[in-house]
């Protein structure tokens, strides 16, 4: 049985120590900004990106990982006698899954699986981690696919933004909701549901938004154990630390991860984004 290599994309923004320890292969999405092109997490890091975004007159655009990038990596791993599973950002948010599927067609009958996670950021990261740990323990390609499917309903992610203008500009949320947020100065609470960004509710302050993130996470966990928690942010370090401290006290997770919203995702959510993801009840 072939050993399984696990690929994901940069939108997960997994910390480098986890990428290395789990032998992950990360393909970058792309930012286009003021006539320059940047590979997400490679040519531009989160800290630099959000400082620049806060002062920018023009906003960047983003593009999916290319077919050629997947073709190159698939060939490299197949030549090393690996089976390959690519677990990628929701196709409801990005065309990256389609690029991977097109590249897969170039290798007929090769042991390659492409998984639409229907997730993004550390929610995607938790799925990738569960599969990668199974692969390191010797799980087959088919078993890795089954694990990805089985953990999906045990993962959730919620986030709040300072303004809806970035989501609106990128076409991720409609104009009416953007105008509502501007008029009432509300803080929207959103989730990734069925692979798309959905507005859950709105509250009147940043503090209330942070508390609702915890309450919704508790509801999603629904008493299941063990629990994994990640908090991640876009230029909101203090809020992120406070959110993690409360999450640790409330949920007693077996593992915690703090990281950034990746630049390619942050392009659409903006500075000030604060997020929490969980995985619960996975054996």
Q: Render pLDDT for 91-125 as a digit per residue (tens, 0 to 9).
A: 999 999 999 999 999 999 999 999 999 999 999 99
3-state secondary structure of 263: helix
Helical segments of the chain, H only: 16-21, 46-55, 67-79, 96-104, 121-136, 141-151, 165-169, 175-184, 206-221, 237-251, 263-269
- Look at residue 29 in the predicted model and tell me its pLDDT: 94
* Alpha-carbon gap, residue 122 to 144, rounded angstroms: 19
- Most distant CA atoms of the chain, gap in Å: 59
Helical segments of 140-205, H only: 141-151, 165-169, 175-184
Residue 60 has pLDDT above 60, yes or no: yes
- Look at residue 45 in the predicted model and tell me its pLDDT: 85
List all residues 6 or more positions away from 34 whose beta carbon is below 8 Å from its beta carbon: 58
What are 75's strand-pairing partners?
none
* Alpha-carbon gap, residue 56 to 46, rounded angstroms: 15
**Residue keyed to tokens 């089985």:** 150
DSSP for residue 105: T
pLDDT band at 175 (very low <50, low <70, confident <90, very high): very low
Q: Cis before residue 19, ω within 30 degrees of 0?
A: no
Q: What is the pTM of this model?
A: 0.93
Q: Is residue 160 within 8 Å of residue 190, measured between CB atoms?
A: yes
* Alpha-carbon gap, residue 62 to 190, rounded angstroms: 21
- Look at residue 42 in the predicted model and tell me its pLDDT: 86
3-state secondary structure of 45: coil
pLDDT band at 52 (very low <50, low <70, confident <90, very high): confident
- Min mean pLDDT across 27-31, 120-124, 171-175, 194-198 is at 171-175
List all residues 6 or more positions away from 277 whose beta carbon is below 8 Å from its beta carbon: 121, 122, 123, 125, 126, 155, 156, 157, 158, 229, 230, 231, 232
Q: Which residue from 262, 260, 258 is spatially nearest to 39, judged by alpha carbons?
A: 262
* Alpha-carbon gap, residue 102 to 95, rounded angstroms: 11
- Look at residue 169 in the predicted model and tell me its pLDDT: 65
> What string of H, E and C letters represents the secondary structure of 188-237?
EEEEEECCEEEEEEEECCHHHHHHHHHHHHHHHHCCCCCEEEEEEECCCH
* Length of the chain measured in residues: 283
CB environment 224-241: b (16+ within 10 A), e (fewer) = eeebbbbbbbbbbeebbe
pLDDT digits (tens, 9 = 90+) for 142-165: 999 999 999 999 999 999 998 777
- Min mean pLDDT across 55-69, 138-152, 255-269 is at 55-69
Question: Mean per-residue pLDDT for 260-265?
Answer: 92
């Amino acid at each position: 049985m072939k050993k399984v290599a696990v690929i994901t994309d940069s939108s997960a923004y997994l910390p480098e120590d986890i990428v290395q320890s789990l032998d992950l292969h990360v393909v970058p999405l792309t930012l286009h900004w003021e006539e320059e092109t940047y590979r997400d997490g490679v040519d531009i890091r989160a800290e630099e990106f959000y400082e620049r975004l806060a002062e920018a007159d023009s906003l960047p655009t983003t593009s999916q990982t290319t077919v050629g990038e997947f073709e190159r990596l698939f060939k490299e791993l197949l030549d090393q006698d690996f089976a390959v599973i690519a677990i990628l950002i929701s196709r409801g948010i990005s065309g990256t899954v389609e690029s991977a599927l097109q590249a897969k067609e170039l290798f007929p009958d090769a042991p390659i699986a492409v998984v639409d996670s229907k997730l993004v950021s550390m929610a995607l990261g938790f799925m990738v981690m569960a599969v990668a740990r199974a692969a390191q323990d010797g799980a087959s390609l088919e078993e890795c696919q089954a694990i990805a499917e089985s953990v999906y309903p045990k993962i959730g992610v919620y986030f709040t933004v300072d303004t809806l203008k970035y989501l609106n500009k990128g076409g991720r949320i409609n104009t009416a909701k953007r105008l509502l947020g501007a008029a009432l100065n509300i803080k929207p609470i959103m989730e990734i549901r069925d692979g798309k960004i959905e507005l859950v509710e709105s509250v009147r302050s940043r503090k209330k938004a942070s508390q609702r993130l915890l309450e919704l996470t508790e509801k999603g966990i629904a008493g299941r154990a063990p629990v994994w928690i990640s908090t991640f942010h876009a230029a909101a370090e203090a809020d992120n630390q406070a959110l993690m401290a409360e999450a640790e006290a409330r949920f007693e997770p077996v593992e915690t991860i703090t990281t950034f919203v990746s630049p390619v995702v942050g392009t659409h959510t903006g500075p000030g984004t604060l997020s929490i993801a969980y995985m619960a009840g996975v054996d």
